[in-house]
Amino acid sequence: GEKTPLTLIGLGPMGRGMVAKFLEHGHPVTVWNRTASRADELVAKGAVRAETAAAAVGANRLVLLSLTDYAAMYEILDGTPLAGRVVVNLSSDTPEETVRAAAWLAERGAELITGGVMVPAPLIGTESAYVFYSGPREVLEPYEPTLSVIGRPEYVGAEHSLAQLFYQAQLDAFLTGLAGILHAFALVGTAGVPARNFVRYLADNVDSLGLYLDETVRHLDEGNHPGDEANVLMMGATARHVVGASEAGGIDAELPRAVQSLYDRAIAAGHGRESWTSLIEVIRKR
């Protein structure tokens, strides 16, 4: 059948990757980018270049945005007729910003669907690609088959803030985890150990993190943190040793210090004999 036509504004690595996939799947795509030359290759592949952002928005009901942040959306769309448009904003920003944007678009007669793309540009449209979406279900639904081209749609709720909240939560774990990995390499590096000599141990460690998820989810959802071998007192002592080793090695210790602080405060709050998962109480600051 006829493939849904769409407009995509913002041709960074992500936007370019998405347009390429939509074209491969036979969707007519209109593009606009502040730096016009970034559209050249896509136009050669069949995309239609709009001369202005307003013309791009005017071309199709479905308008995807792939911009650095939500501020860029206001800069591009302010003053542009938007009535009847479904704007799917796949840019990153704080959940609060997405809520503000929904109101701004509603005032102009447009609907907002917020999105968070969970893969880097080269993986767009592959098996591992998925995208968190939030906003009105009935607005998203007709476009889900089209949006599936860039990745599996994962609808997470009607509140506009949710897609970016899920996205930020994923990146919270990801960025902190990556920083932890670098820190561990730096720590063995203080003894002159090259990363390649340590990586097989670290790989094992990283793989094992997933094994903690079931127990963690049980504790968090039951609000109960039965102490086991990995209680807060034991883990806290270890956290202190990591800080000590980092300081002795002369490397930055801010990251392990932040972790130690969680343990210290959990112990002070009386969680010492509970599972390490009781750190959630310190993090939540209830």
Interface residues with ligand NDP (CB under 6 A) are: 10-15, 33-35, 38, 66-68, 72, 75-76, 91-92, 117, 120-121
The answer to whether 23 touches 8, Cβ cutoff 8 Å, is: no
Beta strand pairing call for 48-49 and 152-157: unpaired
Cβ 232 to ligand NDP shortest distance, Å: 35
Beta strand pairing call for 111-117 and 130-134: antiparallel
The answer to whether 121 touches 17, Cβ cutoff 8 Å, is: yes
Cβ 270 to ligand NDP shortest distance, Å: 40
| Nearest CA among 104, 145, 103 for reference residue 6 | 145
Rounded to whole angstroms, the Cα distance separating 148 from 125 reads 8
Structure tokens at 149: 């081209």
Cβ 85 to ligand NDP shortest distance, Å: 18
Task: List, edge to edge, every strand of the sheet that includes 62-65.
Answer: 48-49, 29-32, 6-9, 62-65, 86-89, 111-117, 130-134, 152-157
Cβ 271 to ligand NDP shortest distance, Å: 36
Q: Which residue is nearest to ligand NDP (CB)?
A: 12
With respect to ligand NDP, which residue has the nearer C-beta, 74 or 201? 74
In degrees to the nearest 10, what's the CA dihedral of 145, 149, 150, 156? 20
With respect to ligand NDP, which residue has the nearer C-beta, 33 or 231? 33
With respect to ligand NDP, which residue has the nearer C-beta, 76 or 262? 76
Cβ 71 to ligand NDP shortest distance, Å: 7
With respect to ligand NDP, which residue has the nearer C-beta, 177 or 244? 177
Cβ 122 to ligand NDP shortest distance, Å: 9
With respect to ligand NDP, which residue has the nearer C-beta, 154 or 264? 154
> Residue 253 — φ and ψ, nearest 5°?
-120, 10
With respect to ligand NDP, which residue has the nearer C-beta, 92 or 146? 92
